[in-house]
Amino acid sequence: MPTQTSLIVNADDFGQSHGINRGVGEAHAHGIVTSASLMVRWPAAHEAAAYGQAHPHLSLGLHVDLAEWAYRGGRWVPLYEVVPCHDAAAVAGEVSRQLASFRQLVGMDPTHIDSHQHVHLREPVRSILIEAARQLAVPLRHYAPAVCYRGDFYGQTAEGETLPDAISVERLIAILAMLQPGVTELGCHPGQGEDLDTMYRSERGVEVQVLCDLRVRAALAAMGIALVSFQHLHSPSSWSA
């Protein structure tokens, strides 16, 4: 019997600003977003958590937030650093604090874990989050064999140059056509307004429009792709490496 092709559409940066919260809510209520990753350190995190509690079909994971960089003047510059990413003890302590904050805000454990700007692709953050995911029995992005991650629905180059075609309806439908049987997580970054000083700003509103476009929903149906969330997954033993 052929394996079903299933898609989790996960919105990163939930809780980082009110504009991002509005965009995630719009893309969930009227679009294809099924999950979101919560940044617990920001003032808008309470609003995001309340939205999640009021909309239980939206899976909420922890978006571990250790630092952010921006490409400016031909080089990467830090916008902020919560703890040094090379300091294992500091990282472990901060991850524990953010997990505790998540539980306090949401009232339950996260359904999945990932990190802001993918800092967990490097050590020591990688090992610390793999262990956290193992203890929680939830998937960690890039390290959950049962879930393939795709990050190519993104409207900029690595240096912050705009790529409007990468977040068009046509491009998203092309990505859907390439999905393989099994579960895929598609990352996205919806938002409304530009109330945050980050590299990725105006593109967020475009993402909301595309994620809510009826042509995308029609393409999913035509291709037989099932929209699911992290709540639908039931194989905790395969979540982390």
* Residues 159-206 pLDDT 10s: 888 999 999 999 999 999 999 999 999 999 999 988 887 889 899 999
Chain segment 98-154, per-residue pLDDT in tens: 999 999 999 999 999 999 999 999 999 999 999 999 999 999 999 999 999 999 999
- For residue 165, the domain's CATH number is 3.20.20.370
Give the list of residues 6+ apart from residue 75 with CB closer than 8 angstroms, or none.
Answer: none
Rounded Cα gap, residues 118 and 75, in angstroms: 18
Residue 17 binned pLDDT confidence (cut-offs 50, 70, 90): very high
Domain hosting 161: range is: 5-238
Rounded Cα gap, residues 163 and 161, in angstroms: 7
Mean pLDDT of 60-84: 93
Report the number of distinct structural domains present in the chain: 1
Q: Which two tokens stand for residue 93?
A: 């302590």
Please, are residues 24 and 11 in contact by the beta-carbon 8 Å criterion?
Answer: yes
* Catalytic residue positions, numbered: 12
pLDDT value at 238 more than 80:
no
Rounded Cα gap, residues 230 and 10, in angstroms: 9
pLDDT at residue 234, rounded to an integer: 58
Q: Which two tokens stand for residue 219?
A: 């393409």
What percent of the chain shows pLDDT beyond 90? 86
pLDDT at residue 72, rounded to an integer: 84
Please, are residues 133 and 110 in contact by the beta-carbon 8 Å criterion?
Answer: no
Residue 76 binned pLDDT confidence (cut-offs 50, 70, 90): confident
Mean pLDDT of 23-40: 98
pLDDT at residue 159, rounded to an integer: 83
**Global confidence as pTM:** 0.95
Average pLDDT, whole number, for the chain? Answer: 94
pLDDT at residue 74, rounded to an integer: 85
pLDDT value at 235 more than 80:
no
Please, are residues 191 and 16 in contact by the beta-carbon 8 Å criterion?
Answer: no
Tell the burial category of 67 from Cβ atoms under 10 Å away from its Cβ (0-12, 13-18, 19+). Answer: middle
CA 112 to chain centroid? 10
